[in-house]
Amino acid sequence: MPVHLFGQCCDMDVILDIAWRHSLIVIEDAAQAVNATYRGRQAGSFGTGCFSLYATKNVMSAEGGVVTTSDPDLADRVRLLRSHGMRTCYEYEMLGYNQRMTDVHAALGVAQLGRIDQATRKRRHNAAALSAGITSVPVPTVRPECDHVWHQYTVRLPGDRSRDAALQRLAAASIGCAVFYPEPLHRLPHIHAVVGDQRLPAAENLAREVLSLPVHPGLSPHDLDRIVTEVNKL
């Protein structure tokens, strides 16, 4: 279950090789990666793709989501599951659920799809401006085989610098920033109950050190300059 985090695809060659050698299926968490590509292929096309259309996503319908697959049998099963197990009204073929997106939400999503390329170009422009200007912290990189869609622009403050203090200073300067994500999964109570005490130092360090800066299409050149200036003051 690879997660295409922040808008850049995982190394799918490695993941697909592991899946092939062990006869595993691949389910892509592409919630943050609509329009992202890996070696020219869209996120969500390597296995079963799961996309979120929550209000913060690059394409949004306020709520809802999309499943992508090239398997017609799986597509048929998903359609049954989302609508009470019915193919025809009141003819129940299996246990199903009420998980249909409303027509209003779907209309919002369809309208957004018409603007996705324009919005992605703006996000890439904004990310390039941030990367060119920020000198105080390491900036994110784009692997050559990937087209990044910049759902988040995430920097990392090395361990000898306080991420939380930086968050407070940027907030005081009216720079809207956030932490994705403040706790590694193995420390969440319902997962800890299953896996027990684990030491995962890479995940733990990242949770203490990462900070996401604004990169959305609504930023103006003045906004970008202010962000760069305030981050470089850290």
Query: Could you tell me the residue ranges of all domains in the chain?
Result: 5-113, 116-232
C-alpha 6/C-alpha 9 separation (Å) is 9
Residue pLDDT tens, the chain, 234 long: 999 999 999 999 999 999 999 999 999 999 999 999 999 999 999 999 999 999 999 999 999 999 999 999 999 999 999 999 999 999 999 999 999 999 999 999 999 999 999 999 999 999 999 999 999 999 999 999 999 999 999 999 987 778 999 999 999 999 999 999 999 999 999 999 999 999 999 999 999 999 999 999 999 999 999 999 999 998
What span, in angstroms and rounded, lies between the C-alpha atoms of 108 and 66? Answer: 13
Residue 234: per-residue pLDDT: 86
Query: 113-139: buried (b, 16+ CB within 10 Å) or exposed (e) per residue?
Result: eeeeeebbebbbbbbebbeeebeebeb
Question: How big is the chain by its Cα radius of gyration, in Å?
Answer: 20
Does this chain's domain 5-113 share its CATH topology with 116-232? no
pLDDT of 159? 74
Assigned CATH for 5-113: 3.40.640.10
Helical residues (DSSP H) of 33-102, grouped into ranges: 72-82
Domain spanning 116-232: which CATH class is it, in words? alpha beta
Between the alpha carbon of residue 104 and those of residues 40, 61, 87, the distances in Å are 32, 8, 22
CA torsion, ordered 165, 183, 12, 29, to nearest 10 deg? -110
Opening angle at CA 198, ends 152 and 17, nearest 5: 60
Q: Which two tokens stand for residue 157?
A: 């403050």
